[in-house]
Amino acid sequence: MNELGKLEDLPLEYREALTERNLVPLWPSMRSVLPPNVPTRDTSVLNWDYESLRPLLMRAGELTPMEKAERRVLILANPGHGLDNIQATPSIYLGMQLILPGETAPNHRHTPNAVRVIVEGEGAFTTVDGEPCKMERGDLILTPSGKWHEHHHEGDGPIVWLDVLDLPLIYRLNSSWAMEGELQQTDATRDKSYADYSAAGVVPNINLKRGKTDTPMLRYPWSKTRACLVEMAADHREGLLSISYVNPENGTSLFPSIGFGALMLRPGETVTLPKRTTPAIFHVIEGAGQMQVEGHPSSNGEPLAFVEKDTLAAPGYSHITLRNASVTEPAFIMTADEAPLHQYLGIF
């Protein structure tokens, strides 16, 4: 591929004339925005290990009361995108959120879609548009775009969860905003949407909402997901054990921007995931092992160790290999990626 002309090759008076008219020549930067064969992959291979993160999060609880924080969160920023850009991948934001016993994170709603993956603690619940959703380890709880939500903690110890939002995407579309509201009056004492949709393959006719785009099920308990993966393992002695979280009414992804899933590694198993365009996030629910990413300079091909509650990032267009360190126990990992967005854009 031939080398193109540089900006400094152009006469100064010509460059100044372009600048005065808000014009920029393409050819000096074309190779950077349209690189040959493989795109720019800014997402660095990284592990936000929970053991070192947790003390800093607890310290935040001592330093900043809820009324001064509204949401007490440490952002998991990927250095490949710059620490000021609130990005774990190009369009996914991650944050570890802490609520202490007796606290309430106030009611608000916003344009970005959000998912909460519970990391530790008991006795808390999220209220979404009047529906309380219990929060237990590994549960996936949705607060789709525009839905009112608040978080309450009535337990004894701290509760921590992983926030996963499409905030970088919505922010760069100049469409990110939030609105505060009064505390909600809950209309039920149970997770109504989970009760209605928890049976696989069964959809109650009374709840069908034609034309509705977001999923009607707000809480996906980890106990159900784990049991599904274990049952799959009993029937499949080899091959990747993975599931996707979907809208129970139509089978589409939970959000049009982020896809969520979970996978199980059999005892001692090593799995190389299908090579894909999208970066990936991995949150370790149970177990320990290693992630190895080939073909990206941030990893040098070296394996990255992980344990329970760690959160990892890997770039797209790379070979990702996961290994279960235990030869007696399975490992369980929750995943998030940009696959729905890539599929919609026709680049997946």
The pLDDT tens digits of the residues spanning 7-23 come to 999 999 999 999 999 99
Q: Is residue 167 part of a domain?
A: yes
Helices (H) and strands (E) in the chain, counts: 8, 21
57 part of a folded domain = yes
Comparing CA positions, the residue from 159, 176, 167, 334 lying closest to residue 260 is 334
In DSSP notation, 210-258 reads TT--S-S--EE-HHHHHHHHHHHHHH-SSS-EEEE-B-TTT--BSSSS-
The stretch 37-56 carries a mean pLDDT of 96
Q: Does 138 score more than 90 pLDDT?
A: yes
Which tokens in the block code for residue 181? Answer: 């509201």
Average pLDDT over residues 49-68: 96
Confidence of residue 183 (pLDDT cuts 50, 70, 90): confident
The rounded mean pLDDT for the chain is 92
Pairing of strands 219-220, 241-244: unpaired
What is the full DSSP assignment across 54-90? HHHHHHHHHHS-HHHHSS-EEE---GGG-TTS--SSS
- Residues 216-234 as b/e (b if ≥16 CB within 10 A, e otherwise) read bbbbbbbeebbeebeeebe
- What residue has token string 């800093």? 56
**Structural domains counted in the chain:** 1
- Residue 219 inside a domain? The answer is yes
Q: Given a cut of 70, is residue 60 above it in pLDDT?
A: yes
Report which secondary-structure segment, H or E, holds 275.
Answer: none
The answer to the question of residue 31 being in a domain is no
pLDDT of residue 84: 92
Q: What share of the chain is helix, strand, coil (3-state, %, to 5)?
A: 20, 30, 50
Alpha-carbon distance of 282 to 335, in angstroms, equals: 5
Q: By residue range, what is the domain housing residue 160? A: 46-345
Tens-digit pLDDT profile for residues 192-230: 777 777 766 666 665 555 445 578 899 999 999 999 999
Of the two residues 332 and 3, the one the predictor is more confident about is 332
The 10s digit of each residue's pLDDT in 227-285 is: 999 999 999 988 999 999 999 988 999 999 999 999 999 999 999 999 999 999 999 99
pLDDT tens column, 275-299: 999 999 999 999 999 999 987 888 8
Q: Tell whether 26 is covered by a domain.
A: no
- The pLDDT, as a whole number, for residue 210 is 47
Q: What is the CATH number of the domain that holds 219?
A: 2.60.120.10
Q: How many CB atoms lie within 10 A of CB 320?
A: 25
Identify the residue whose tokens are 């903690």. Answer: 153
Lowest mean pLDDT among 3-17, 134-148, 206-220, 321-335: 206-220
Domain assignment present for residue 259? The answer is yes
Of 190 and 1, the structure prediction assigns the larger pLDDT to: 1
Per DSSP bridges, beta strands 140-143 and 241-244 are: unpaired
Long-range (24+ apart) CB contacts under 8 A made by 47-50 are 47/291, 47/304, 47/305, 47/306, 47/310, 47/311, 47/312, 48/76, 48/94, 48/96, 48/310, 48/311, 48/312, 49/306, 49/307, 49/310, 50/119, 50/307, 50/308, 50/309, 50/310, 50/311
Amino acid code (one letter) for 119: V
**Residue 8 domain-assigned?**
no
Q: Is the pLDDT of residue 343 over 60?
A: yes
Backbone angles phi, psi at 68, to 5 degrees: -95, -5
Give alpha helix (H) positions in the chain. 12-20, 30-33, 50-63, 66-69, 167-172, 192-197, 222-235, 339-345
